A = this chain, B = another copy of it.
Amino acid sequence: MVNYPNGTRKNWNAAASGAGGRGMNLEKDINQTNQYYLNCDTAVIHKKPTPVTIVKVDYPSRSAAKITEAYFKVPSTTDYNGIYRGRYIDFEAKECSLKTSFPLKSIHLHQIKHLEACMRHGAVAFLIIRFTHLDETYLIPADRIVSFWYHHDRSSIPHSWFIENGYRVEGNYIKPVDYLKVVDRIYFEKGGSTSDGEY
């Protein structure tokens, strides 16, 4: 590692992994991967826009409408959905800055309910969790998270649970989070080890 004399590196680190930037890298990586899937006509999966309540809009002459007052809304569903190999895909993605566990409060109850409803209707539903400090990304079938949610009286899920119940998602610089490779394996190949379809 080289210490940059002008401190550039430190700033770059702060921007990339500080509290402000954290949580955005997984999203950026998934968006890039989805764009790759879209370009290759592999799947049509998009992130939903951030839900906001718009209160005030200005219409300055000769320019675009400008929203001058709006508030973030709590999302009622998950962030990503779309279609792959004829199946409806639905998932939520979360980054976790802790090394030993994932706090369950990161996921809202209505998101759990939404994933359950999707599964009842035949969706491929899951979570993507990244442990940022370990640089490990897992795909967890929704039925397992839902089951944990209802059967454990804990406020967080230990990291070891992800090793046992999740599937590591690998990637490269073109598709940083190649989650469909995992989806292929566990939802489309015979003998896949999730309880898909039996929920």
Binary interface encoding of chain A residues 39-67 relative to chain B, with 1 for a CB under 8 A from any of its CBs, else 0: 00101101011111010000000001111
From A41, A43, A69, A120, name the one whose CB has the most chain B CB atoms within 10 angstroms: A69
| Copies of chain A in the complex | 2
* Whole-angstrom CA separation of A41 from B89 in the bound complex: 18
* Whole-angstrom CA separation of A52 from B57 in the bound complex: 12
Distance to closest chain B CB from A28 (angstroms): 16
A interface residue count range (under 10 / 10 to 19 / 20 to 34 / 35 or more): 35 or more
Give every chain B residue within 8 A of A72 (Cβ-Cβ). 64-65, 67
Contact yes or no, B50 A83, CB < 8 A: no
Contact yes or no, A121 B67, CB < 8 A: no
Q: Which of A143-167 contact B (CB under 8 A)?
A: none
* Whole-angstrom CA separation of A81 from B82 in the bound complex: 8
Q: List 5 A-B contacts (CB under 8 A).
A: A44-B121, A67-B72, A68-B68, A68-B69, A85-B121
